[in-house]
Amino acid sequence: MCISAAIALPLIMLLSMAGSAAIIHAGGDIQRSIDSASPGDTIIVGPGVYEKFTVNKRLNLIGDGATVIASSSDACISVEADMVNITGFTVRNGLYGIRLSRVRGCSITNNTVTGCKQPGIVLLTSSGNTIANNNASYNGVVGEGWYGIYLTDSSNDNLIVNNIASNNGAYGIHLSTLCSNNTLRGNTLNGNMYGVYMFTGCSNNIIEKNLISGNKANGIDLRFNCNHNIIRNNTITDNQVAGISLLDSGENEILSNDIRSNIRFGIQIQGKSDANTVVGNNITRSPTGIFVESNSNIFHTNRLIDNVVQAVDRGENIWNAPYPVGGNAWSDYSGVDERSGPAQDVPGADGFGDTPKEIGNRSRDMYPLMGYELKPIKILNASLPEEIEAGEQLLIKAWIESVNGLSQVSARIPESRSYVRLYQAGDHYEGALTTALLDPGEYSVVITATDRRGYELEEVIGRFRITPRAGRSFEAAMAQLRGRS
């Protein structure tokens, strides 16, 4: 008998637990072997393609090159007894891949489940089980779109660890309807619609140390009374809408996550999602770092770096902890640190800006952390004439540095409607503003630069004077006429 290296360790563990229980080598009919086995036996299934089966007693099943296939209306493997261990199978094409129904203490490990019409692995009112080291990918990719791993109907206290659930029709891992006290740890969730999705009354779950990237909507999404969950130490990147999204879900903890380059929002908190705690996260390179329209949420010691808009607060929320813990790091904060103390009125620096970071009409960070300022666009130098005659063109040159590359540069005179786009000319941008409609006087010039990520910088680069055109003033013209008469 040759047992693959991938399942050697689980096999050794199961055989050692079996003790005096029998070890059965299944023939071509797995269900017949199960029916004839006694509780506690171990069934080893060799290479081949097998029909669906149901486990209705406490058994250990080990696949050694075994593939189980069912029709799109059946489960490939149904588990209907407690303390069942299933490892090492390839499961394909059923309505469900591996289905646990009203069971406890089962272990589903090191299986590959793919091409199923609905969930790859599903727990129905099943608690205290371990789902580990499985690959549940490319399930539910037709029709409505479904799940890699699905827990529903009060499936509690399960351990979901080190699985891959990628490129499923809708959800990598989905918890639905009163699923509590589950731990989702170390999973890789890429290319689904949602990485982790919780729906309706799922509480006290832990989502930690997962890699969640490239999903077509949100990386982690909690909806409708999904309260008291902990989301911590995850890497959440390049999701098409938000890294983390909460809707009508409160009192959750979002801690120490790396939330980078999500396409719209780093964190999005909507509806009646009140009293969440958002602490210690790295939120970078999204159009909006944090968007919140709920109330009484707490944000502090987060790093909001290089987002186009760092935060939008449409509620009433708290953006710092009491002194000396302080607030958040903002890459667009340009204040100074010359004072200290809770009121920032004591001479001497303390690492916090002396003036608050304004976030919304009703919100501010009283103690913004210093040392994180980042300017994605900088005007290094600019030139324009100090004086020109009325009607002459004003030549403008600007040397601009941009982290993300520039999409447009323009110049305007605020006191008029004069506007011109500047184009790159070697190492600088240049263009000419018309002054034909301007009266003599002094004017300023503003440059607006927009980069490829949507940052916009407006900066006054200087002032210039327009003088009357020589020989064209009214007095000069009249004198010329008098001279001719």
Q: Which helix (H) or strand (E) holds 482?
A: helix 474-484
pLDDT at residue 244, rounded to an integer: 98
Q: Count the Cβ atoms, other than its own, within 10 Å of residue 426.
A: 7
CA distance 432 to 449: 16
Mind giving me the DSSP string for 44-104? EE-SEEE--EEE-SS-EEEESSEEEE--TTSEEEEE-SSS-EEES-EEESSSEEEEEES-B
Q: Are 108 and 89 in contact (CB under 8 A)?
A: no
Tokens representing residue 302 in the block: 């987060």
Over residues 55-114, the pLDDT tens digits come to 999 999 999 999 999 998 999 999 999 999 999 999 999 999 999 999 999 999 999 999
* DSSP 8-state assignment for residue 11: H
Q: What's the whole-number mean pLDDT along residues 393-397?
A: 93
Over residues 167-184, the pLDDT tens digits come to 999 999 999 999 999 999
319 has a pLDDT exceeding 70: yes
Per-residue pLDDT band for 480 (boundaries 50, 70, 90) equals low
3-state helix, strand, coil in the chain (%, to 5): 5, 45, 50
Percent of the chain with pLDDT over 90: 84
Residue 88 main-chain phi, psi, to 5 deg: 85, 10
Q: Count the Cβ atoms, other than its own, within 10 Å of residue 427.
A: 8
pLDDT at residue 437, rounded to an integer: 84
pLDDT at residue 132, rounded to an integer: 98
Q: What's the whole-number mean pLDDT along residues 38-53?
A: 98
pLDDT at residue 454, rounded to an integer: 86
Q: Measuring CA to CA, which residue among 94, 156, 97 is closest to residue 125? A: 156
Per-residue pLDDT band for 19 (boundaries 50, 70, 90) equals low
Helix (H, G, I), strand (E, B) or coil at 34: helix
pLDDT at residue 3, rounded to an integer: 42
Residue type, 237: T
Q: Measuring CA to CA, which residue among 75, 82, 118 is closest to residue 98? A: 75
Q: Count the Cβ atoms, other than its own, within 10 Å of residue 102.
A: 15
253 class by beta-carbon count within 10 Å (0-12 exposed, 13-18 middle, 19+ buried): middle
Residues shown for the chain: 485
Per-residue pLDDT band for 436 (boundaries 50, 70, 90) equals confident
48 class by beta-carbon count within 10 Å (0-12 exposed, 13-18 middle, 19+ buried): middle
Per-residue pLDDT band for 13 (boundaries 50, 70, 90) equals low
Structure-token match 């009125």, residue found: 345
Per-residue pLDDT band for 259 (boundaries 50, 70, 90) equals very high
CA distance 246 to 122: 24
4 has a pLDDT exceeding 70: no
Residue type, 93: N
pLDDT at residue 484, rounded to an integer: 54
Q: Are 145 and 122 in contact (CB under 8 A)?
A: no
Per-residue pLDDT band for 455 (boundaries 50, 70, 90) equals confident
16 has a pLDDT exceeding 70: no
478 has a pLDDT exceeding 70: no
pLDDT at residue 200, rounded to an integer: 98
Tokens representing residue 420 in the block: 């011109």
462 has a pLDDT exceeding 80: yes
Per-residue pLDDT band for 145 (boundaries 50, 70, 90) equals confident
Q: What's the whole-number mean pLDDT along residues 131-136?
A: 98
pLDDT at residue 7, rounded to an integer: 43
pLDDT at residue 64, rounded to an integer: 97
Q: Count the Cβ atoms, other than its own, within 10 Å of residue 19.
A: 7
pLDDT at residue 362, rounded to an integer: 87
CA distance 196 to 230: 13
pLDDT at residue 432, rounded to an integer: 93
**Domains of the chain, earliest start first:** 5-365 (2.160.20.10), 378-467 (2.60.40.650)
Q: Are 397 and 427 in contact (CB under 8 A)?
A: no
pLDDT at residue 450, rounded to an integer: 94
pLDDT at residue 475, rounded to an integer: 56
pLDDT at residue 107, rounded to an integer: 98
Whether the CA torsion 290, 406, 382, 430 is positive or negative: it is: negative
Q: What's the whole-number mean pLDDT along residues 410-418?
A: 89
Which has more pLDDT, 391 or 76?
A: 76
Query: Strands 147-152, 220-223: parallel, antiparallel or unpaired by DSSP?
Result: unpaired
Instruction: State the pTM of this model.
Output: 0.86
Q: Are 238 and 213 in contact (CB under 8 A)?
A: yes
pLDDT at residue 12, rounded to an integer: 46
Q: Which helix (H) or strand (E) holds 12?
A: helix 5-18
471 has a pLDDT exceeding 60: no
CA distance 114 to 161: 18
Q: Are 74 and 92 in contact (CB under 8 A)?
A: no
Whether the CA torsion 299, 300, 306, 311 is positive or negative: it is: positive
Over residues 340-367, the pLDDT tens digits come to 999 999 999 999 999 999 998 889 999 9
